[in-house]
């Protein structure tokens, strides 16, 4: 059976297609529509070619290049490019690594890496076909590794220690971005975050390269560590090459430490209002995806969050609604909101003492 998504129709063939990754494709198009000057794109791990075909048509590109290492998948990709009447598409049955290491490789305004598992083995090579202001979008589906279920694998692949608790998803995407920022710095590029999120089985980041050693250094300086106290629940983070905290600053108990990871923004603040609108236009009637993206655009851009059930358990109090707590904190003048990273959690600029005081008050006096 054919599969239609956005402007592309893909024939039932030998290549892998995952309808659940529609949001990843939609969100990338919604973001890229807002970026001037994207004329060409590289779909580095194409499978059916749906991504590159959609980017080419929906972004009105002058040219798209699609790569696929697997022979039979490449056969499907080729016929999909033809059946979608894409005249300005180049495609090759080649590995992304080989393609990027040619003499005088072509350069791309936008590069998408969407492999099975980790994008890590591809990211160094794709930087060779990037230029100043290139947009690099990448997916990781090795979320168990990034979220701390396999400590050694995370150290091996990303040179970072993950968080194996309720902070795992945000720590994971920050580890992924941090890994890429370190690689980009070797090419004298800094990174600016466009959009990043964790959704179902994958994590997705879209970044823009900024040329220059200053930009590279400034990005690398945004790497650091995240902490969580095992006893009182305190959560913190600090930028820098070394951990300076070994015990909880509030109760002196043992802490869990994770990093190094990206501690800069996870979303381009200036684009937020337009992003939500652009997403509505791209996603059309897909209400569930649109709601997800709308809430993402409203999420405070600050590192980490508190799990309300975990805090109430520590305080020996019955659990309360995180929405009620967020409302109470906002009324007190704080930023406070739920997060897409984890259920029943809130991101806030309130201290843990202020959060606990609000929890106690709600438990005693009600909402």
Ligand X SMILES: C[S@@+](CC[C@H](N)C(=O)[O-])C[C@H]1O[C@@H](n2cnc3c(N)ncnc32)[C@H](O)[C@@H]1O
- The residue to which tokens 């080419």 are assigned: 56
Smallest distance, ligand X to C-beta of residue 81, A: 14
CB count within 10 Å of CB 212 equals 12
Question: What HEC string does 262-322 produce?
Answer: ECCCCECHHHHHHHHHHHHHHHCCCHHHHHHHHHHHHCCCCCCCEEHHHHHHHCCCCCCCH
Minimum distance from CB of 266 to ligand X (Å)? 22
Nearer to ligand X, 3 or 245 (CB): 3
CB of 74 to ligand X, least distance (A): 8
Q: Which two tokens stand for residue 249?
A: 């600053």
Cβ proximity to ligand X, 130 vs 350, nearer residue: 130
Residue closest to ligand X, measured at CB: 45
Question: C-beta of 284: minimal distance to ligand X in Å?
Answer: 18
Nearer to ligand X, 142 or 166 (CB): 142
* Beta carbon of residue 239, minimum distance to ligand X (angstroms, whole number): 33
The least CB distance from residue 40 to ligand X, in Å, is 17
CA-based torsion, 101, 106, 110, 114: positive or negative: negative
Distance CA 3, CA 51 (A): 13
Q: Which residue, 61 or 325, has its beta carbon nearer to ligand X?
A: 61
Nearest to residue 171, comparing CAs of 129, 118, 226? 226
Instruction: State how far Cα 215 lies from the chain centre.
Output: 21
5-29 as b/e: b if 16+ CB within 10 A: bbebebeebebebeeebbbbbbbbb
Pick 6 or 148: Cβ nearer ligand X: 6
In terms of CB distance, is 117 or 284 closer to ligand X? 117
Residues lying near ligand X in the complex (CB under 6 A)? 15-18, 21, 25, 45-48, 50-51, 67-70, 73, 95-97, 114-116
């Amino acid at each position: 059976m054919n599969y239609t998504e956005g402007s592309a129709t893909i024939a039932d063939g030998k290549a892998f297609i995952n309808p659940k990754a529609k949001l990843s494709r939609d969100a990338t198009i919604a973001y890229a529509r807002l970026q001037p000057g994207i004329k060409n794109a590289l779909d580095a791990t194409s499978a059916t070619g749906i991504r590159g075909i959609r980017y080419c048509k929906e972004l009105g590109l002058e040219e798209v290049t699609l790569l696929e290492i697997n022979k039979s998948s490449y056969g499907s990709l080729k016929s999909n490019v033809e059946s979608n009447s894409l005249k300005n598409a180049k495609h090759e049955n080649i590995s992304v690594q080989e393609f990027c290491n040619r003499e005088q490789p072509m350069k791309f305004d936008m590069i998408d890496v969407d492999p099975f598992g980790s994008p890590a083995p591809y990211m160094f090579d794709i930087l060779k076909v990037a230029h100043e202001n290139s947009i690099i979008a990448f997916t990781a589906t090795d979320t168990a590794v990034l979220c701390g279920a396999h400590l050694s694998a995370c150290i091996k692949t990303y040179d970072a220690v993950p968080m194996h608790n309720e902070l795992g998803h945000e720590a994971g995407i920050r580890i992924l971005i941090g890994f890429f920022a370190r690689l980009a710095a070797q090419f004298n590029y800094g990174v600016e975050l466009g959009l990043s999120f964790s959704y179902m089985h994958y994590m997705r980041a879209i970044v823009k390269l900024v040329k220059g050693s200053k930009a590279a250094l400034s990005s690398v300086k945004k790497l650091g560590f995240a902490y969580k106290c095992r006893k009182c629940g305190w959560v913190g983070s600090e930028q820098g090459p070394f951990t300076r905290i070994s015990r909880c600053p509030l109760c002196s108990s043992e802490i869990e430490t994770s990093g190094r990871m990206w501690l800069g923004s996870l979303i381009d603040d200036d684009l937020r209002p337009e992003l939500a609108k652009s997403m509505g236009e791209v996603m059309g009637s897909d209400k569930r995806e649109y709601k997800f993206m709308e809430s993402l655009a409203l999420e405070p851009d600050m590192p980490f969050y508190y799990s309300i059930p975990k805090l109430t358990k520590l305080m020996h109090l019955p659990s309360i609604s995180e929405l009620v707590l967020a409302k109470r904190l906002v009324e007190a003048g704080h930023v406070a909101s739920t997060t897409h990273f984890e259920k029943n959690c809130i991101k806030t600029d309130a201290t843990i003492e202020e959060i606990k005081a609000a929890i106690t008050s709600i438990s005693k006096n009600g909402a």
